[in-house]
A and B are shown apart, each in its own frame.
Chain A
Amino acid sequence: MSKDNKIQSTSIARQSRRGFLAAAGGLAASALAPAARAGGNPANQPPNVPEWTRSLGEGVAVRPYGKPSKFEKDVIRRDVEWLTASRESSVSFTPLHELEGIITPNGLCFERHHGGMADIDPADHRLMIHGLVERPLILTLDELKRYPRVNRIHFMECAANSGMEWRGAQLNGCQFTHGMVHCVQYTGVSLRTLLEEVGVKSNGKWLLVEGADSAAMDRSLPIEKALDDCIVAYKMNGEALYPEQGYPMRLVVPGWQGNLWVKWLRRIKVGDQPWQTREETSKYTDLLPNGKARRFTWVMDTKSVITNPSPQAPIKHGKGFTVLSGLAWSGNGKVKRVDVSLDGGRNWWPARLDGPVLDKALTRFYYEFDWNGQPLLLQSRAQDETGYVQPSKAELRKVRGYNSIYHNNGIQTWHVQANGEVENVEVA
């Protein structure tokens, strides 16, 4: 963030804080009792001593594997039944509007399966590497874990994230419009290490990567990317991969479309040409207005979304100091800046990046402002270190038409109404 940006957002925050204090003063003077205003059970609120202060809680290890508070039961993955023909080849969405920071909890990472979630006994799982290599190799999970490890935090975004919005505003919530993304810390073995181990022959230019599930997902990966930053991962956020994320091992392809991140990875074959599999011909090709389609559109371009306020996270506190929170990411590198508009893209203000700003990872941004209760048209616009600026949907459609399905990174607009409710809209 530039120095100017910093000064700008600090002064905005200071202004807003004054507004907030004024609003708080008004609240104290109100005739309503504080407890009644806050809702809940007055018996547990001051001046009373709540039940959890008077009695013992659960002891240790009552929950050998912890879960969130029961009061967080709405923080869950959701799906949209009408989207797909079956639950086994379908998608669920990360509840972005309930999360903060940049790390997605393992149990909330969106799912995308093509043949259901394989439930694999790691003792029976094998990773085979063969083809144009000097020394073909077959590894167990335990053997893979003996190789030197790397830890990397990366976002993983489905190429179809926001795909339902190409033709207009359709789903009401960032969980549905942007929730095919997650970001975790992966631990595993650099794919480069494994390829050096097997010795790729000089004509080895492509890898076929394939999963062990019933879809046997196979994709072609160019050798340059394979030798750059890909990982065969077996841990996420410190623990074993979850079955729905590819237990016991998956491919991590930083910055590239999620479809290439083959789960339940069982085979890597080195060849001299791409295979033109179903998932890179029929699917994950992007139809243009002239009837031609782009293929091998691997990189996920710069994108952002405001997660609060958003349709599932309306403003409930009324006028006053308001925290706007959002996520930005780029498959081309680090997020350099994020701007926020309150008037549908006419004027923009620099947002504040907070927390780590990592290569090809989710990045958290904030914009604090004093809401005067008037309707707003919120937008966020990310720029990455290559200079790429997140385009408007209109700009994207001008090049790509309406039938691309994939790679919709257009700017999202939320309409905040006077009552604090928020709606997914398009503006022009």
Chain B
Amino acid sequence: MASRPGTCRPTVRSRMLKSPELVVAFVLACLSGSAAFAGGSTELKGEAKPAPHYDIGRAPTPEEIRGWDIDVRPDGQGLPVGKGTVAQGEKLFMDNCATCHGEFGEGNGRWPVLAGGKGSLTADNPVKTVGSYWPYASTVFDYVRHAMPFGNAETLSVDDYYSLVAYVLYLNDVVTDQNFELNNKNLASIKMPNEAGFIMDDRATSEKAFWQKDPCMKDCIAPVKITGRATAVDVTPEDAKEGKSRGVE
């Protein structure tokens, strides 16, 4: 039986098989189909904690969970104990971040812009930064602690990450005092300018017109003209043009 979990698996519990009565019920269930099976499973409802179905793997230790469980939510759940000021963050930022992101978070080359762009979200070219776009300060902490500095992730201390986030918030005028200290007690209370800027996916209603019974097949629109050409923009990698080979085999 155990080697064929697919057939009778859904309510099989290893503890169940230790009771001779239940083994009988289990075998009957397997032989006679789902009706008898349902009867067998009701007897299990009294069990407070059903044993694992498969008994494969083990429980992680608290230390193992602590090592990886570093995510942070907007309500502050997950924030580690720690603190750091804007001024401390400025120094850390210059040493670890400014090469790519610029001294004021303005971004070097194509590297991400972290600050500015406020009020640009309806512009032709919106500048989406921590200050202009991000809804929660917790996300800055979660992301920086998980993945920054790029290529050297998870190398700084918790206090360093608080300091860096404090400085990024300062660059975005979310906090204005250079002596401001960010910590695990106050991070969740920080309001970001664009917190209300997001709506749930509403395609089912706002794009209802895309669901159609009989799409048009004949004379659907007036004859069309070409209004844009990729070759005029000319930014496609060379070797792809006209199927020519790259020549670096």
Q: Which residues in A have some Cβ–Cβ distance to B below 8 Å? A: 73-74, 76, 78-82, 84-86, 88-89, 114-115, 128, 130, 134-140, 143, 146-148, 168-173, 175-176, 196-197, 199, 208, 210, 214-216, 218, 266-267, 269, 271, 273, 275-278, 281-282, 285, 287, 289-299, 301, 311-314, 339, 343-349, 377, 381, 383, 386-391, 395, 399, 402-403, 415, 421, 423-428
In the complex where A287-B126, A426-B227 touch, is A143 in contact with B151 (Cβ < 8 A)? no
Central interface residue in B124, B130, B227, B240, by most chain A CB within 10 Å:
B240
Q: Are A386 and B236 in contact (CB under 8 A)?
A: no
Partner of A391, one of B133, B210, B217: B210
Partner of A173, one of B5, B216, B236: B236
In the docked arrangement, what's the CA distance between A381 and B221, Å?
A: 15
The contact sample of 13 A-B pairs, CB cut-off 8 A, is A81-B237, A85-B112, A128-B64, A216-B153, A281-B198, A287-B128, A292-B197, A292-B198, A295-B198, A295-B199, A346-B222, A389-B212, A424-B231
Q: Are A291 and B74 in contact (CB under 8 A)?
A: no
Q: Are A168 and B228 in contact (CB under 8 A)?
A: yes
Residues of chain B contacted by A311 (CB below 8 angstroms): 230, 236, 240-241
In the complex where A278-B143, A427-B224 touch, is A89 in contact with B203 (Cβ < 8 A)? no
Within B169-209, the residues touching A (CB, 8 Å) are: 197-203, 206-207, 209
In the complex where A169-B229, A423-B229 touch, is A176 in contact with B64 (Cβ < 8 A)? no
Q: Are B57 and A138 in contact (CB under 8 A)?
A: yes
| Shortest Cβ distance from residue A96 to the other chain B in the assembled complex, whole angstroms | 12
Asked if B110 is at the interface (CB within 8 A of a chain A CB), the reply is yes
Q: Are A277 and B68 in contact (CB under 8 A)?
A: no
In the docked arrangement, what's the CA distance between A344 and B133, Å?
A: 38
Q: Are A313 and B215 in contact (CB under 8 A)?
A: no
Residues of chain B contacted by A346 (CB below 8 angstroms): 219-224
Q: What total of chain B residues lie within 8 Å of the partner, measured CB to CB?
A: 91
Q: Are B243 and A312 in contact (CB under 8 A)?
A: yes
In the complex where A425-B230, A427-B225 touch, is A386 in contact with B211 (Cβ < 8 A)? yes
Asked if B139 is at the interface (CB within 8 A of a chain A CB), the reply is yes
Q: Are A273 and B53 in contact (CB under 8 A)?
A: no
Q: Are B111 and A428 in contact (CB under 8 A)?
A: no
Q: Are B143 and A277 in contact (CB under 8 A)?
A: yes
Q: Are A276 and B136 in contact (CB under 8 A)?
A: yes
Q: Which residues in B have some Cβ–Cβ distance to A below 8 Å? A: 5-6, 9, 49-50, 52-54, 56-60, 64-65, 68-69, 71-75, 77, 100, 109-112, 121-122, 124, 126, 128, 130, 133-136, 138-139, 142-143, 146-147, 150-151, 153-154, 197-203, 206-207, 209-213, 215-231, 233, 235-237, 239-243, 245-246, 249
| Shortest Cβ distance from residue B231 to the other chain A in the assembled complex, whole angstroms | 6
In the complex where A84-B110, A176-B236 touch, is A214 in contact with B151 (Cβ < 8 A)? yes
Partner of A275, one of B9, B130, B142, B215: B142
Q: Are A428 and B227 in contact (CB under 8 A)?
A: yes
Q: Are A424 and B230 in contact (CB under 8 A)?
A: yes
Q: Are A136 and B240 in contact (CB under 8 A)?
A: no
In the complex where A267-B68, A275-B142, A301-B203 touch, is A425 in contact with B228 (Cβ < 8 A)? yes
Residues of chain A contacted by B218 (CB below 8 angstroms): 347-348
Q: Are B121 and A169 in contact (CB under 8 A)?
A: no
Q: Are A277 and B233 in contact (CB under 8 A)?
A: no
